[in-house]
């Protein structure tokens, strides 16, 4: 069968308006999504380099700059935190390590108190979570 050589696939001119509309909608979506708040707790943890990570099962909690306690993505009181830590310690056979994600403005007394609370719940290891520091560039 012979195909005609003058066959045109597009018989009309190419309309750019729908593509431009979709492009501008995507652009507006990306710009507006940048204005949405990021979920989570606003923390500024201290920085430290080359610290080892935990090798045992862990349970995590957080303390923000105004010393609110967080466990499992919700604000808790100290009594509720003690209950959660006791339940977590009872449900595992190996010793747990408590990871405290604390803001760098949290007082040392609060961190010491939280480690004593964990010790009363049966968790003997408490670690402070840090952010890795930025190493300066090597001089040539």
Stretch 76-102: mean pLDDT, rounded?
93
Write down the architecture of domain 47-132 according to CATH: 2-Layer Sandwich (3.30)
Q: What local confidence, expressed as pLDDT, does residue 119 receive? A: 94
DSSP output for the chain: -PPPTT--S--SPPP-HHHHHHHHHHHHHHHHHTTSPPPS----PPEESSPPPP-S-EEEEEE-TT--EEETTEEE-HHHHHHHHHHHHHT-SSPPEEEEEE-TTS-HHHHHHHHHHHHHTT--EEEE--EEPPPPPPP-
Assess whether pLDDT exceeds 80 at residue 127: yes
- pLDDT mean over 114-128: 93
Q: How confident is the model at residue 115 (pLDDT cuts 50, 70, 90)?
A: very high
Dump pLDDT digits (tens) for 29-71: 999 988 888 777 788 888 888 888 888 899 999 999 999 999 9
């Amino acid at each position: 069968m012979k195909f005609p050589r003058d066959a045109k696939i597009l018989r009309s001119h190419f309309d750019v308006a729908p593509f431009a509309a979709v492009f501008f909608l995507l652009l507006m979506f990306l710009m507006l999504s940048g204005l949405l708040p990021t979920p989570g707790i606003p923390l500024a943890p201290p920085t430290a380099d080359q610290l080892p990570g935990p090798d045992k099962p862990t349970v995590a909690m957080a303390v923000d700059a105004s010393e609110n306690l967080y466990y499992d993505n919700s604000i808790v009181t100290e009594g509720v935190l003690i209950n959660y830590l006791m339940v977590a310690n009872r449900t595992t056979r190996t010793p747990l390590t408590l990871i405290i994600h604390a803001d760098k403005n949290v007082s040392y007394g609060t961190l010491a108190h939280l480690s004593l609370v964990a010790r009363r719940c049966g968790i003997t290891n408490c670690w402070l979570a840090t952010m890795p520091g930025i190493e300066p560039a090597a001089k040539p």
